[in-house]
Amino acid sequence: MTEHDTETYNASSIKILSREQAASLFLFEQVDRLAIKYPSTPREFIGRLLEAAAVTNTPLEPIEQRYLVGNKAIPKIPEVEAALLHILDQTRWR
């Protein structure tokens, strides 16, 4: 942060987001919302699933329907599954 930045940063720089706005900007808010909606699914799995969705640029709706609701009418998303496996593998070795 430069000296100029501190001069222009004030209370009007702070923006209070609605839950929906926060969810669209922050992965952790989406994870929290889905963990509440699907309490039998581990929060860690939901987090990794949404991370896989983010890296593959896949919309949340089909992922939620297929992998959290269990709607088999929604086709598997191979890119998300591959990304999820990679993320889980990387997490295991941390």
DSSP states of the chain as a string?
A: --HHHHHH-SGGG--PPPHHHHHHH-HHHHHHHHHHH-TTS-HHHHHHHHHHHHHHT--HHHHIIIIII--TTSPP-HHHHHHHHHHHHHHHT-
pTM as predicted:
0.73
Residue 3 covered by a domain: no
Residue 39 covered by a domain: yes
| Residues 6 or more apart whose Cβ sits within 8 Å of residue 1 | 9
| CA distances from residue 65 to 16, 18, 31 in whole angstroms, order as listed | 30, 24, 15
- pLDDT of amino acid 29: 86
- pLDDT of amino acid 94: 61
Which residue range forms the structural domain that includes residue 76?
Answer: 16-92
Residue 8 covered by a domain: no
Separation CA 88–CA 84 (nearest Å): 6
pLDDT category of residue 26 using cuts at 50, 70 and 90: low
**CB atoms inside a 10 Å sphere around CB 18:** 8
Residue 24 covered by a domain: yes
For the chain, give the percent of residues with pLDDT over 70.
83
- pLDDT of amino acid 2: 58
Residue 49 covered by a domain: yes
Tell me the per-residue pLDDT of 40-61, one tens digit each, with 9 for 90 and over.
999 999 999 999 999 999 999 9
pLDDT at 18 over 90: no
Residue 60 covered by a domain: yes
Domain count, the chain: 1
